[in-house]
Structures are given as structure tokens and as C-alpha cells.
Amino acid sequence: MTLYCKVVQLSNKYMIYQIIRTGCTKLHGARRLAEGRSVNASGPISAGHAEILLHCTCRGRRGGSSSIIRSRSESLTERRRSSGSRRNHDICCSRAHRGRWEDTRSLISYVVSKPVFIFSPSGVLGCSLVLSVQALYSSGDDVVELTAANFNREVIQSDGLWLVEFYAPWCGHCRSLAPEWKKAATALKGIVKVGAVDADQHGSVGGPYGIRGFPTIKIFGANKNMPEDYQGARSSQAIVDAAMNSLRSLVKERLSGKSGSSGYSKQGGGGGGNKNDVVELTDSNFEKMVLGSDDVWLVEFFAPWCGHCKNLEPEWAAAATSVKEQTKGKVRLGALDATVHQGVSSRYGIRGFPTIKIFRKGEQQPEDYQGGRSRGDIIAKALELFSDDAPAPEMLEILSEDILKNTCEDSQLCLIAVLPHILDTGAEGRNGYLEVMTKMADKYKKKMWGWMWTEAGAQMELEASLGIGGFGYPAMAAINTRKMKFALLKGSFSETGIHEFLRELSVGRGSTATFGGGAMPKIHTVEAWDGKDGQLPVEDDYDLSDVDLDDDFDKDEL
């Protein structure tokens, strides 16, 4: 007798063991195997919208047996069942169950609670359990399936506008979004490209864009290295509206003479970056450029004849362009020809090519780069280094239109707080609010958002356009000046309240509105707060001795 229970792995969280047993005499060995020894594990599959197919091939034999796998921790139980049939025959039986599971855990609970084996009059000699994940999108949809192999070609090198969803097949919110995403793709067909990336299978694609949760939607416009976050509702109408707004912005930029390219020149062979963004390092400039810098450096030591170095060159250039823009030059990529500038290369013991070293601010000894050599891997590491070393964003008071414009135009999102008047809180109260904002700015510093504040009544037009004015201070709004959209903090002005507000926005749950008039309001030039408590204005003393009061003042007549 031979029993087969195929090994599957569910999102690296749970494993059902393969048991191979030949003949009744091997029963105890099979039991020990089932109690915790994995054999011949297959590759991981995602456990989302899955189909469980129980399939048994039964070859009759007297004295057959049946088995049930109940969980990974329980042993294989055997119940011997005899049969009067002595004829060898083939019986093929199958049963399928289709259903939806909100997460991997609930799917596992279903699997381990169901019998794996189906009985026949002649006993069970073979059984396999097969899990096949149904993809959220297929070739019949208008949604373009994006992968690590085609993402650069389809999206990054494209001149058109792309809406890209990063999803996981096991994610319940992703499955809910799928029909709306398909509708939007059909409506935008021939106008805007709509794609989807299975981040479980192609995690490296989302790395450069800081994908942390699912679904995450990015809008790739003129600058493909700096996509915008989609902050709208998860309906096809809202998605289409956002796409058309971004398309109008792209067309306006091109009409005004701004570049509509991805931000770097396309190299022969496809996908390279701007070589000018890779700093050429030498023996003579290395000390000043790298060791004397306040920035973080990733330095490639290469040899011109090295084939691996040539393969890395376009990836290094593309990463340099993206990192320069995303970190505002705080993380830089350089390259040094180790065959020419042997002083530096020998100093750091360079023996093979390419070798990549990481130089942090103020540290003479570098660390080895251990990541992959794709642009995505390089960018992800650079952003990690940036977030480690970057200070919290500066908390700016809105003193003029230029301050607001420069801060918000350079950021995907601007957080603006309207704090109570200084006479209502004093310096201590105001500093308390600013401390909360500073902590949150530090927590989200990797996002590179702008953080600003103003005093109640100082910018009345701004308050009115945000629907804040007159009461309810402190208040906070998250604004996107490119889309002329904003969202208001509904919870408490605290670390917890602001964190929840930003989390809701990041997953597209927050409600947004359009600026009144569709444009930024007038910003007044005001004086900066001096950091002190407020002072009531001193009133002039009036001499009332010469005032002639009417004798009839006490009368009730008007």
C-alpha cells in the first residue's frame, strides 16, 4: 500500500507534510514522519482565494486503510478497514470545495479540519491534496499583469500615464478592489494604462516605492521615478477620476515645456539611468567628495573589462537618478575605476569587481553592500540608509506664500496644523502641540512629507478653504497641492490620532475634498512666533472728567 500526501506551503506560514509509505509494514515509520519531519517541500504558494481539490486514485487491495491528517502537530491515525472485494480495480474519485478566506489562518483552519482521504470499498492507496491560487487578474482583463521581468519596460520606459496596484492574492481588501480595478481598466483602455503587480511573487518591484501594505496604488506620471500615492476611494469612478486628473496635469506640464520623460535618458539595451547622476570618483577627489561629506555614499569599485561591471552599469545609473530625487541628494552613488585609481582601491582591500561599499557620515571604515544588483535592490538599500540617517523634517511656520509653495510642491503630501491662538495656550501649550507634530514627522520621515503650522486667525483664507475656520483648534489637514485635494483629521490631535489619520489615508480609506475654488488660497505674510507667551494689548487710559452726561441718563426712554 502506498499513501501520498503532497507537500504544500502556505505563504511560508504552514506546511502539510509529504508522507510516502509503501506496504503495511512501514506504518510506524510513516507515523513518525507525520509527527514533524518535512520531506520534499514544494515552492511556496499564496493562500488567498484558493480552490481545494481532493483527488484519490484508488487501486483496490484487500485490507486497505484510511487516514486523516488533522494538523501538523498530530500524528497520522490509522483505522484498518477490511473489504470483501479481492479484485484489483481502479476507482477515481474527486471532490472539490471552492470558497473565500480572509486570511491564511482561516484557510489553514479549513484544511486541517477536513478529511484528506476518500474511502472506497477496496481501501485507499493514493491521495493528493492540491492547492491552486486563483489569480486576481487574467489575460482576459484589461489590467496589465506586471512582473519583475517587464515592469521596467512597460512602466518606467513608457511615456504614458500608468496606474499600478501592488497587491497580494491572500489580501481580502485586494480581492474586494479587483472588480473595481478591472472596471476602471476597461473604462481607461486606450487612454491610461492600468496594471497590477503581485507583490508576493515580485516583491522586488515594490521595494523602491516603499510598499508596506496592500493594496497600494501608485500613479506613474511624467517622472516615473517619483510616482504619486493614490489617496482616493476604492471605486472604479474614483479611480477613473484620479487618472483623468493626473492625465490633465501631465498634459499641462508638457504644454508648459516641462519634460514628460521618466527623468533619465534611455540607454541602448533599455532601462539605464542618467550617467551624470553617478559621481566619478578618483584618488584625488575621494577624500573630499566621500569621506568629507555629510551625505551617505554607495561606491562601486569597477574594472572596465569586467563583464559583471558592464551589466551593473545601467542598473547603477538608474538607481543613482532615482535615489538622488527621492533623497534630495542626501544619498549619493559613485563609481571608481579601480584599475586606474589604485590608491583608494588598495586602501579598502578591493580584490574583485564589482565591489560596492557603503560610506556613512563621519565613518572612515565602510561596510560591505550585501544586497542584490538590480536597481530595485539598490534603491531600497539607499532609502533604508536615508531613513536611518535623515533628521526629522523641519517644522515650518507658514509665514509667507513662498514657504507654503516651496514646501508643498516638493512633497507628495503636506501636513498643516492650525494651532490655537497663543493667548489660549501660552508657550507651553503650543510647544506641546509642536512636539507631537515633530514626533510624527520623525516617525514618517521616510515619506519626505512637508510639515507646517499656523496660528488660528493668521491665515483665514487657508482655514476657510479647508473648512476649518472659527473653532475646533487644534486642527490638521493633509493636502496634495498637485491634485488640489485635502483630508481633515477627525480624531484627536495626538500621536495616536495623527498616526491613525495617516494610516487611513495611506490605505485609501480617508475621505478627501477639493480646495474651495479649485486653487490654493491667498497666503498672508506674517511675523514669526517669538517663542514666548502672548501679551494682551495695552489699552489707552481715557479721562472722562470732561464728559457731559445727560441728566436723563437714568430714564428708560430710548
Catalytic residues: 171, 174, 306, 309
Q: Which three cell numbers stand for residue 250?
A: 501631465
8 Å CB contact between 279 and 333: yes
One-letter amino acid identity for 245?
N
Q: Which three cell numbers stand for residue 168?
A: 497580494
CA distance 216 to 164: 8
Q: Which three cell numbers stand for residue 418?
A: 492650525
Which backbone phi and psi does 453 adopt, to 5 degrees? -150, 160
For Cα atoms 440, 446, 452, give the angle at the middle one, nearest 5 degrees.
45
Nearest CA among 170, 198, 173, 203 for reference residue 11: 170
8 Å CB contact between 330 and 293: no
Q: At which residue does the C-alpha cell 516651496 appear?
A: 406
Using H for helix, E for strand and C for coil, what is the string for 210-259?
A: CCCCCCEEEEECCCCCCCEECCCCCCHHHHHHHHHHHHHHHHHHHHCCCC
Three-class SS state of 461: helix
Nearest CA among 407, 392, 384 for reference residue 323: 384
Instruction: Give the CB-side neighbour count of residue 372, counting CA atoms within 13 A.
Output: 13
Give kind and range of the element (H or E) at residue 139. Answer: none
CA distance 549 to 543: 14
List beta partners, residue 128.
55
Give kind and range of the element (H or E) at residue 446. Answer: none
Residue 368, C-beta contacts closer than 8 angstroms, at least 6 positions apart: 355, 356, 357, 358
**CA–centroid distance for 133 within its chain:** 23
Residue 193, C-beta contacts closer than 8 angstroms, at least 6 positions apart: 144, 154, 155, 158, 160, 161, 162, 163
One-letter amino acid identity for 523?
I
Is the preceding peptide bond at 215 cis, omega within 30 degrees of 0? yes
Rounded alpha-carbon distances, angstroms, from residue 403 to 390, 407, 410: 21, 6, 11
Using H for helix, E for strand and C for coil, what is the string for 393-440?
A: CCEEECCCHHHHHHHHHCCCCEEEEEECCHHHHHHHHHHHHHHHHHHH
**CA–centroid distance for 492 within its chain:** 26
State the virtual CA torsion across 238, 240, 241, 246 in degrees, nearest 10.
Answer: 130
